[in-house]
């Protein structure tokens, strides 16, 4: 009789042991699934919170080829040492005398078309990360033009902050400068809104580490408080040589002020 109970006990214990193993496996699988689900949720939240994700398709379609050209250029050209990287819109691209206007600072020039802060935010890694630079200078001016697709000043500032955060993931200490959006005759009707964006950009620079706002608007205004038309080409949007000389002087002075303080 004792042998029968012993056999039954062993059988029961075996079943219990198997049940416990199954339970532990199920529990482990559940925990794994829960961790994966939580990770996925975090990714979804981060994507939904990103200020750039909604611009990716538009930017890729419009500027993808230009960025590929930059990447090819990066493979073929060697950057000068201690260079200032200039990135942004067509005003950077068309600055044919950039090297001379900010001398003695060596430069890397990466301006593309009529790009916006949103475009630079989308492509920041591909444009900026291939380079070693002493400082970064940014200029974008096409997010507020008077169209129905215009961004708000707050959206412009958020995109700029996003760009700086992207920069800081690799370049923790290099100074970042943003040029004030220039008052131009062609966009004078929306200057009050652009001024708001400039103010928010300036405030963002004051909050961010080693980030600086380069004020320029006063140099482009006449005594009547309107844009100096003699500083622009026929489209009344892009600067002529005289305008770029003013820009270069203002940029160089700010670079001197900040970089000479850094050992």
Residues 23 and 66 in one domain: no
Residues 20 and 116 in one domain: no
Task: Residue 32: give the domain boundaries.
Answer: 1-49
User: The pTM is what?
Assistant: 0.81
Residues 1 and 120 in one domain: no
Residues 76 and 193 in one domain: yes
Q: Region of 201 please: left (phi>0), alpha (psi -120 to 50) or beta.
A: alpha
Count other Cβ atoms within 10 Å, centred on residue 65.
11
Instruction: For residue 209, give the CATH number of its domain.
Output: 3.40.50.1110
Residues 3 and 99 in one domain: no
Q: How many domains does the chain have?
A: 2
Q: Return d(Cα 84, Cα 93) in angstroms, integer.
A: 15
Residues 201 and 237 in one domain: yes
Residues 85 and 42 in one domain: no
Per-residue pLDDT of the chain (263 residues; tens, 9 = 90+): 545 545 545 565 555 556 666 656 655 566 656 665 454 443 333 444 468 899 999 999 999 999 999 999 999 999 999 999 999 999 999 999 999 999 999 999 999 999 999 999 999 999 999 999 999 999 999 999 999 999 999 999 999 999 999 999 999 999 999 999 999 999 999 999 999 999 999 999 999 999 999 999 999 999 999 999 999 999 999 999 999 999 999 999 999 999 987 65
């Amino acid at each position: 009789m004792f042998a029968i109970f012993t056999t039954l006990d062993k059988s029961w214990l075996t079943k219990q042991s198997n049940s416990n193993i199954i339970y532990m496996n199920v529990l482990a699988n559940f925990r794994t699934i829960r961790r994966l689900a939580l990770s996925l949720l975090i990714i979804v939240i981060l994507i939904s919170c990103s200020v750039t994700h909604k611009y990716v398709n538009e930017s890729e379609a419009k500027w993808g080829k230009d960025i590929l050209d930059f990447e090819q250029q990066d493979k073929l050209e060697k950057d000068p040492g201690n260079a200032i990287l200039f990135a942004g819109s067509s005003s950077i691209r068309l600055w044919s005398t950039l090297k001379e206007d900010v001398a003695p600072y060596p430069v890397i020039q990466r301006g593309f078309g009529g790009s916006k802060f949103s475009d630079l935010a989308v492509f920041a890694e591909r444009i900026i990360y291939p380079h070693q630079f002493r400082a970064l200078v940014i200029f974008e001016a096409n997010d507020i033009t008077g169209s129905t697709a215009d961004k708000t000043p707050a959206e412009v500032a958020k995109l700029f902050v996003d760009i700086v955060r992207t920069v800081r993931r690799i370049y923790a200490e290099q100074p970042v400068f943003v040029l004030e959006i220039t008052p131009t005759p062609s966009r004078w009707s929306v200057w009050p809104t652009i001024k708001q964006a400039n103010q928010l950009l300036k405030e963002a620079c004051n909050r961010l580490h080693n980030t600086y706002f380069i004020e320029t608007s006063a140099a482009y205004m006449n005594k009547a408080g309107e844009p100096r038309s003699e500083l622009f080409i026929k489209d009344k949007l892009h600067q002529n040589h005289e305008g770029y000389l003013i820009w270069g002087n203002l940029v160089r002075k700010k670079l001197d002020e900040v970089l000479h303080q850094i050992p």
